[in-house]
Structure 1
Amino acid sequence: MSHQKKQITIGLLWHSVSSDNLGVGALTESQIAICQAAARTADVEVRYIIFGTAGGKNYLPKDVHIIIGSRISIKQMIKGQSAFLKELEACDFVLDIGEGDSFADIYGIKRYLFLIVSKLAVLFKGKPLILSPQTIGPFDYWFTRWIATFVMKRCKRVFARDGLSSAYLLRCGVVDNADEVVDVAFRLPFTQSKHGESNKVHIGLNVSGLLYSGGYTENNQFGLTLNYQALIQDLIQYWTIDPNNQVWLIPHVIPDDLPVEDDRKAIAQLALVFPTVKAAPSFNSPSEAKSFISGMDFVTGARMHACIAAFSSGVAVVPLAYSRKFNGLFSSLNYAWVADGKVTDTQTAFSKIIDGFNQRAALKKEIEFGNQIAHARLQTYENYLVTCMRAV
């Protein structure tokens, strides 16, 4: 007689299996992988309802029961016509990952309102709300910080993905239900790859179209203290002088309808100037991107999840930070090889990246220890999910 497993429904808030931002997709793929592992331990079957932004991709994992939830509309909620609210009623609990770093007010009040109202909706429906590992804040206005703190204190659990976010939670008075783990993308599945000639040194340069454009305002929106375009060009110039190097330009945000953010647009411009570089393909999924990155000998980049893909697959990497999320995450893994684009000038960042490239064997050893920390922290998160599943 076959064993009948208990079936539960988990809402995945601010996740996506179609986003053109492969960082958001990496969080979703990884979250589902962790949940599936927890479900096996808890001996339950899970159905997922995904609520979040949509894009032009489709990387639905196989053999997983997933429903794409309705669009989150504040206007429909006010009118009492929200399908999102009705679908929440089917969830046993909700995991909200906030697209990694969107639970803040630095991206504007409109975006903040969507994030906060959706959380309030979950609490209004009486569903346990768990903030999955993410960057918390900053909230620069007193009223955004007050509302965010009000919500977080009423969550079942709040998981920070780095030490800076943990410290921020402490300053907000969110203590009793808070914990620090690490970004779930350290568990993103991948297939180890190799690229062409084994006698070449394969260098992956993840180019951020957003930073190359100067941000959404196209006027150094993120307050970089360096010249990003000049840094990228200087690195390519340096590496391509040596015929033993093969430089790959790697995109990680690939929207067809938002050219200012499209990494491929910046890569195409650079490929015209530097004809010996190779452009990586437009990946169909975050796992495909990570698999490609795993074949590099060295990586640098300003898309955090491209850097996590390198780190978690054992590739020497020097991330280029444009916000505190980089510094907080990698310092929590005792990894100091980060070039800070909001503190250093162009030459200092260039030197840090080249030093990391030249010491890549030593970096790999540090990364090995860092991955052990990440694995242990994500096991803590997975164990918590097992407890939640068994409690349903």
Structure 2
Amino acid sequence: MPKFVISGVSGFRNRGVNALVATTVEGIKTIDPAAKITIISDTSDYDVLHGKKLTARFLQDVFRTRRGKLVRKVSLVSKKLANRLSSSFIEAMDAVEDTDIVIASGGDIFSSDYGDQKDFLIPLKIAQKAGKKVVFMGHSIGPFKTRQEADMWLEVANKSVLITVRESLSYQYVCQQLGVPENKVFLTADSAFVLALPEQAQIGRLASFYGIDSGKPLVALSVSQGIIKFSGADAASHFEVWKKIISTLLNDLGAQVLLVPHVQERAAFNDDRIIQSALVKEFDYDDRIKLVSGDHNASELKGLISLADLVIAERMHAGIAGLSSGVPTALIGYSVKARGVIHDIFGEMAEELELLVSVQDLVNGTSTEKWLKGLWSNRAKIAFRLSAELPKFRSLARKNFELLGALLK
């Protein structure tokens, strides 16, 4: 009975993280249905409620806390004393040291975008010191702003047994610029491409609950509260742009708007409900705007997104929910992850149809009306390309677990 630990989990309040972890657990179960899985998360108390169907154990990620770092130092001298200081730390450390494989999840945490990759590397170093296998699964890596950051990741990556990356830009960066041997690195796809939809009856009930009119066009919008901090864009200008987008959709294209808060972190700067609620208020609670206000999991949000005629997303995994459902989707991005995924799927069409716009360009001058009408008029062309490419990307998503399974043979 193989044992796995999944680390790098910031928590299911971010539905992208939820999608990654859920599909990783399901993928492991295809390798061995009896596998024992431990998920180390920043919000284990919340995640265990949303992860009841995952048949996994949830532990609090104490490695990234100040107390946890102190206890780790103490444990090097006396594990008994460390246990008295923090039994939860010792429980998490024991899980890492007693497993067969530690899977580093997290999507794009190993980059310079968020400033905390050092903390995410801690359980991986503990595993490697204990002689356990470490796998980086489905990542966008870098680009790192400093050589120190790159070397920090490479110290662990070069000792890992497998690295899969979800888009070709990261593959080229890891192999060509960072020099990781190509026999260790594989180009796959984000595992969220195989996130299961709810049953159609449940999707229908969700649509009815939120007042979605099936007889009118629907555009799903993922507006990010966190993109201001991560990109440095001006907050007021960003808000004004979204007002213009919603106004064009409502009044020029005659569409309903579905606002999907895909990330609902405890920290106000990264809770999409804040900016999306403000937009609803700005339009005086127009009933053509539907705000998804319930505490839904990633699959349920994907179900709602799948009903749309067009998706525009600042959150990567809201975009993947649209793409993997075959819905014409455009991404507003600030990093390699969006650029890589969109270009791998659409190639030159991504530029031609402006399926990727940087948040800085959007805020600083892109004609939103022209852009939206272009996306709207090219929906059939986008959907046709998606239908041709999706089988490949679903297969690449499953390849993550084929490669993982080979490590157990």
Q: Do they superpose with TM above 0.5? A: yes
- Is 1:202 matched with 2:197? no
Aligned counterpart in structure 2 of residue 122 of structure 1, from 121, 127, 131: 127
- The change in CA–CA distance for 1:65 and 1:113 in structure 2 (over 3 A counts) is closer
Kindly state the Cα deviation for residue 158 of structure 1 after the two structures are TM-superposed. 0.7
Residue 92, structure 1, aligned to residue 108, structure 2: no
1:71 Cα deviation from its structure 2 partner: 2.2
Contact 2:25 2:54 in 1 (8 A): no
> In 2 relative to 1, CA 54–225 (structure 1 residues): closer, same or farther, beyond 3 Å?
closer
Structure 1 distance, partners of 2:122, 2:370, is 44
Tell which deviates more after alignment, 358-367 or 309-318: 358-367
| Equivalent-residue separation in structure 1 for 2:226 and 2:24 (angstroms) | 26
- Segments of 5+ residues of structure 2 without an aligned counterpart are 76-81, 83-88
Q: CA deviation at 1:370?
A: 2.6
**Residue of structure 2 aligned with 1:356, choices 361, 365, 375:** 375
Quick one: distance in 2 between partners of 1:239 and 1:106? 31
Tell me: CA distance 1:178–1:349, structure 2 relative to 1, closer, same or farther (3 Å).
farther
Alpha carbons of structure 1 residues 100 and 198: separation in structure 2 relative to 1, 3 Å: same
Aligned to 2:358: 340
Judged with a 3 Å threshold, the aligned counterparts in structure 2 of structure 1 residues 64 and 225 are, in CA distance, closer, same or farther, namely: closer
> d(CA) in 1 for partners of 2:59 and 2:74?
22
Percent of pairs identical after alignment?
21
Spell out, residue by residue over 1:118-168, the C-alpha distance to the aligned partner (whole angstroms, 9 max, x if none). Answer: 221111111000100111112222222122112111100111111111111
Q: Are the structure 2 counterparts of residues 244 and 334 from structure 1 closer, same or farther at C-alpha, using a change threshold of 3 Å?
A: closer
- Number of the residue aligned with 1:228: 238
Contact 2:5 2:103 in 1 (8 A): yes
Q: Report what 1:36 is aligned to.
A: 29
Query: Where does the alignment leave 5 or more consecutive residues of structure 1 unmatched?
Result: 1-6
Q: 2:255 aligns with which of 242, 245, 258?
A: 245
Counterpart of 1:205 in structure 2: which amino acid? L
User: Does the CA-based 8 Å contact 2:22-2:54 persist in structure 1?
Assistant: no
Amino acid at match of 1:125: A
The equivalent of 2:282 in structure 1 is 273
Normalised by the size of structure 2, how large is the TM-score?
A: 0.84
Over the aligned positions, Cα root-mean-square deviation in angstroms equals: 2.3
Aligned counterparts of 1:142 and 1:154: Cα–Cα separation in 2: 18
Higher helix share: 2
**CA apart distance, 1:187:** 1.2
Partner of 2:53: 62
Please say if 1:373 is aligned against 2:379: no
**Structure-to-structure mapping, 1:1-392, within 5 angstroms:** 7-15=1-9, 18-39=11-32, 45-54=34-43, 56-57=46-47, 58-62=49-53, 64-68=55-59, 71-72=62-63, 73-80=68-75, 81=82, 82-83=89-90, 84-97=92-105, 99-108=106-115, 111-170=116-175, 171-175=177-181, 176-191=183-198, 192=200, 193-194=203-204, 195=207, 196-211=212-227, 214-215=228-229, 221-223=231-233, 227-242=237-252, 244-255=254-265, 257-274=266-283, 275-276=285-286, 277-334=289-346, 336=350, 337-343=355-361, 345-348=364-367, 350-389=369-408, 391=409
Does the CA contact (< 8 Å) of 1:316 and 1:360 recur in 2? yes
Secondary structure of 1:248's partner?
strand
User: Partner letter of residue 173 of structure 1?
Assistant: G
The secondary structure found in structure 2 opposite 1:71 is: coil
The CA deviation at 1:260 is 1.9
- Deviation for aligned residue 1:234: 0.6
Normalised TM-score (structure 1): 0.87
Cα pair 1:74 1:117 within 8 Å, conserved:
no
Q: How far apart are residue 376 of structure 1 and its match?
A: 2.1
Q: Does the C-alpha gap of structure 1 residues 259 and 225 become closer, same or farther in structure 2, counting only changes over 3 Å?
A: closer
SS in 2 for 1:299: strand
CA distance in 2, matches of 1:159, 1:323: 18
Residue-by-residue CA offset, 1:195-239 (whole Å, 9 max, x unaligned) = 34222001111111223xx327xxxx4357994222211111111
| Alpha-carbon distance, 1:190 to partner | 1.3
Cα deviation, residue 69, structure 1: 5.4
1:10 Cα deviation from its structure 2 partner? 0.6
- Residue 226 of structure 1 contacts residue 341 of structure 1 at CA under 8 Å; is this kept in 2? no
Report if aligned partners of 1:318, 1:353 keep a CA contact under 8 Å in 2.
no
Q: 1:228, 1:346 within 8 Å by CA — same for their partners in 2? A: no
- C-alpha deviations, 1:265-315, integer Å up to 9, x for none? 111111112132121223331111111111111110100000000111111
Equivalent-residue separation in structure 2 for 1:145 and 1:367 (angstroms)? 34
Rounded to whole Å, the distance in 1 between the matches of 2:253 and 2:343 is: 34
Question: 1:113 Cα deviation (Å)?
Answer: 1.8
For residues 329-351 of structure 1, the C-alpha deviation after alignment (integer angstroms, 9 at most, x for no partner) is 12122351222224564434553
Q: Secondary structure at the match of 2:31?
A: helix
Q: Indicate conservation of the 8 Å contact 1:46/1:65, yes or no.
A: no
Q: 1:254 to 1:325 in 2, by over 3 A?
A: same
